[in-house]
Amino acid sequence: MKDFKAFLLRGNLVDMAVGIVIGIAFGAVITSFVAGFLTPLIAAIFGKPDFAALTFTINKSVFRYGAFLNALVSFVLVAFALFFLVIKPVNALVARARREPPDDPTTRNCPECLSEIPVAANRCAFCTAAVGAGA
């Protein structure tokens, strides 16, 4: 029982559980956004938000392709909402964070061999070229 308790309380397992719970809650938010805003927008444009009644019959067998279309449209709208409301802004923030140059660089590139050398170096440690003191 002691080993089982240690397994349950390991950091990775608890972190994963928290991530799953937050992911489920976030999925509910995105699903409600799609159902509350994007699906009515499609209904306003195309006139029919629910395709569940669409069917066709072959040899007395009814094929309900409307339910598949509902699921497909819902998937595309959820993917669209996630991409433009989460992925694009996060990627922009990450790119902005990476672009910021360091305030006070401590190294520079050697003009001869392009190795990274200290700013104050007079000679490259790799190719021994005279590079002059950096500013």
What fold characterizes domain 2-100?
Answer: 1.10.1200
User: What residue ranges do the domains of the chain occupy?
Assistant: 2-100, 105-135
126 pLDDT higher than 70 = yes
Across the chain, what does the average pLDDT equal? 82
Query: In three state form, how does the secondary structure of the chain look?
Result: CHHHHHHHCCHHHHHHHHHHHHHHHHHHHHHHHHHHHHHHHHHHHHCCCCCCCCCEEECCEEECHHHHHHHHHHHHHHHHHHHHHHHHHHHHHHHHHHHCCCCCCCEEECCCCCCEEECCCCECCCCCCECCCCC
Q: What pLDDT digit, counting tens, does each position of 82-106 carry?
A: 888 888 998 898 888 887 666 677 8
Give me the amino acid identity at 118.
Answer: P
Q: What pLDDT digit, counting tens, does each position of 38-82 carry?
A: 778 877 887 776 777 888 999 999 898 888 888 888 888 888 888
Global pTM? 0.51
pLDDT at residue number 59 = 92
Give me the amino acid identity at 134.
Answer: G
135 pLDDT higher than 60 = no
pLDDT at residue number 102 = 62
